[in-house]
Amino acid sequence: MRQALSLPELAAMKPAGTKIVMVTAYDHPSAQVVEEAGVDVVLVGDSAAMTVLGHDSTVPVGMDEMLMLAAAVRRGLRTPLLVGDMPFGSYERSDEQAVENALRFIKEAGCDAVKLERGGSSVDRAKAIVRAGIPVMGHVGLTPQTATQLGGYKAQGKTAERAAQIADEALALQEAGCFAIVFEAVPAAFTEALMGRMEIPVIGIGAGHDTDGQVLVFHDLLGIFGGHAAKFVKRYANVRQEMVSGVAEYAAEVRSGAFPGPEHIYAIEPSELSEFRAYLGEQRHSEETGTFSHSDWDWGP
């Protein structure tokens, strides 16, 4: 049986050249699926805002929603590291706010670590959370919580100036004590150039081959999410189509009467049935004559 992955074991995967597999999950069944599939790290991503809550960005999701999802994932997970994604507005205001909400992920949802986005003030927040004893994963490049500031959902680091900015953020987060970092939507050559300076595991999503691992959104990789897929998404299944077919077949069988079939129906002993029918008959009679009460009936053992 696989043992639960510890942070030192995750760190050791980098020098060993063992690729780290990370995926998102948002509920109990998806947690059971990723557990069984044998991934290393599970992120309860704020992408839940889009994939499961129907928002058009990650911005609206809040702490209480994230905690409910993370707790459900925890109940389905045994071996991978579980990372809770700090939603927009849950850590920006102050170190105190960041530590308080990071602690909620650990204490209320059973997460092993938290993730936050960007450099700048997030570097201070990461330091404060690490000081509080909570492992932190950084996230640079395309940071969806601040996509508006970045000019939309597009690749980052395509100019030398922006590439230098992202590199500085990544190095500052590493210095702040992050145990790993996500690079999202950056040129593969940017990653290749920076990897020599990265001592912590780098998990890529649209960041090329040279990262220490990859992360994809569960609904994207399985083809559950119906919306637009980013360039970096590879679909490994078309589960949405399977789901639509299943529900459509169910609807057709309900309408035709083919469902439920004999195997889905409960039986009753004939003698019990006749007694029951007699009861209904007596009840109808007494309702007509006004003489029957429920306490007259012998309900048996």
- Kindly list the catalytic residues: 184
State the minimum distance, in angstroms, from the CB of residue 205 to ligand KIV: 5
Contact pick of 69, 205, 207, 224 for ligand KIV (by CB under 6 A): 205
Q: Which of residues 229-288 bind ligand KIV (CB under 6 A)?
A: none
Q: Which is nearer to ligand KIV, 24 or 101 (CB)?
A: 24
Q: Which is nearer to ligand KIV, 171 or 203 (CB)?
A: 203
Stretch that binds ligand KIV, among 45-53, 231-239, 247-255, 272-280 (CB under 6 A): 45-53
Contact pick of 85, 112, 169, 210 for ligand KIV (by CB under 6 A): 85
Q: Which is nearer to ligand KIV, 147 or 279 (CB)?
A: 147
Contact pick of 21, 73, 129, 182 for ligand KIV (by CB under 6 A): 182
| 80 lines the binding site for ligand KIV (CB under 6 A) | no
| 24 lines the binding site for ligand KIV (CB under 6 A) | yes
> How many residues make contact with ligand KIV (CB under 6 A)?
11
Q: What angle do CA 279, 283, 284 make, to 5 degrees?
A: 120
Assign 3-class secondary structure to the chain. CCCCCCHHHHHHHHHHCCCEEEEECCCHHHHHHHHHHCCCEEEECCCHHHHCCCCCCCCCCCHHHHHHHHHHHHHCCCCCEEEEECCCCCCCCCHHHHHHHHHHHHHCCCCCEEECCCCCHHHHHHHHHHHCCCCEEEEEECCHHHCCCCCCCCCCCCCHHHHHHHHHHHHHHHHCCCCEEEEECCCHHHHHHHHCCCCCCEEEECCCCCCCEEEECHHHHCCCCCCCCCCCCCCCCCHHHHHHHHHHHHHHHHHHCCCCCHHHCCCCCHHHHHHHHHHHHHHHHHHHHCCCCHHHCCCCC
| 215 lines the binding site for ligand KIV (CB under 6 A) | yes
Stretch that binds ligand KIV, among 44-52, 155-163, 186-194, 233-241 (CB under 6 A): 44-52
Query: Which residue has the CB atom at the shortest distance from ligand KIV?
Result: 45
Contact pick of 41, 86, 217, 221 for ligand KIV (by CB under 6 A): 217
Contact pick of 20, 40, 42, 45 for ligand KIV (by CB under 6 A): 45
Judged by the rule CB under 6 A, the positions of this chain that interact with ligand KIV are 24, 43, 45-47, 85, 139, 182, 205, 215, 217
